[in-house]
Amino acid sequence: MKRIQLSEKIETTVLLKSRRRCCICFGLNRDIEHKPGQIAHLDHNSSNNKLENLAFLCLTHHDQYDTKTSQSKNLTLNEVKHYRKQLYEIIVNDWKKHIIFDKVTSDLSEKVAGHYIRDGEYDSAELDIHYLGNNKVKVLGLALWGKQKECGPNLGELDFEAELKNSKIYFKHTILGDKEYQIEIEFNADGLKAKEKYLSGCLEVDVRSGYFGLNVSFQGDYKKT
């Protein structure tokens, strides 16, 4: 298959959106250091130079993504696209902030901002909390169920902004008029605790029945990493 050279405009767009951060490093390890790397074609088609098919990857992960393995489960297209989406959102939010020299981080920001993990043998969840100022936070989350499934786990995502009140965040999302998802996040000395509700009309339904995906939930106790 003949490789079609990336245009300067497309190349520059990918580099600026990623700031030369590898989305796989970020997705797997929350590593946001800039790295020597290359622009990868996610569908392995070097003639498909559409933006949605391109991502900046460090040299190690580019080699890993392009290598076919017969034993271990390789990184999937949707997995890498998910990591890329999260990375781009983090970069957009961080680069909007004003640079203040000799800035002292507020106690509130230090208390809530960070990466939180709930890990189990068969399921897990991660929450990234970003303090936006004025008691506002952004929450990004990924929950998995069935980590050992041969065909891959069921996934659930959170992406919302909310107000922080008395060390708690509350968010709700209405679906189809009569169904509503709710989550309450409360920060504590060890990390945070998440509680969920899924309402259908006036009845409370088990969120694991399918709001995110079968058995997927963000509920539980998290440790700050």
Q: What would the pLDDT profile of 157-184 be if each residue is shown by its tens digit? A: 999 999 999 899 999 998 877 888 999 9
Looking up tokens 């509350």 gives 170
Helical axes 8-18 vs 77-96, angle rounded to 10°: 70
In the predicted structure, residue 2 carries a pLDDT above the cut 80: no
Instruction: Check residue 69 and give its pLDDT.
Output: 67
Closest CA to 122 of 206, 210, 214: 214
Instruction: Check residue 127 and give its pLDDT.
Output: 96
Higher pLDDT, 3 or 20: 20
For residue 129, the Cα-to-chain-centroid distance in whole angstroms is 11
Q: What is the pLDDT of residues 96-138, one digit of tens each?
A: 666 554 444 456 677 899 999 999 888 999 999 999 888 899 9
In the predicted structure, residue 1 carries a pLDDT above the cut 60: no
Q: What is the pLDDT of residues 58-105, one digit of tens each?
A: 999 999 898 876 556 788 899 999 999 999 998 888 776 665 544 444
In the predicted structure, residue 5 carries a pLDDT above the cut 50: yes
In the predicted structure, residue 152 carries a pLDDT above the cut 60: yes
Q: Please, which residues bridge with residue 165 across strands?
A: 168
Q: Return the DSSP state at 103.
A: P
The two tokens of residue 152 are 């891959």
For residue 55, the tally of other CB atoms under 10 A from its CB is 27
Three-class SS state of 24: helix
Instruction: Check residue 158 and give its pLDDT.
Output: 94
Instruction: For CA atoms 128, 132, 133, 134, give the dihedral sign.
Output: negative
Q: Return the DSSP state at 88.
A: H
Tell me the mean pLDDT in the region 28-32: 89
In the predicted structure, residue 140 carries a pLDDT above the cut 90: yes
Distance CA 153, CA 147 (A): 5
Q: Return the DSSP state at 57.
A: E
pLDDT tier at 38, thresholds 50, 70, 90: very high
In the predicted structure, residue 203 carries a pLDDT above the cut 90: no
pLDDT tier at 205, thresholds 50, 70, 90: confident
Mean pLDDT, the chain, whole residue set: 87
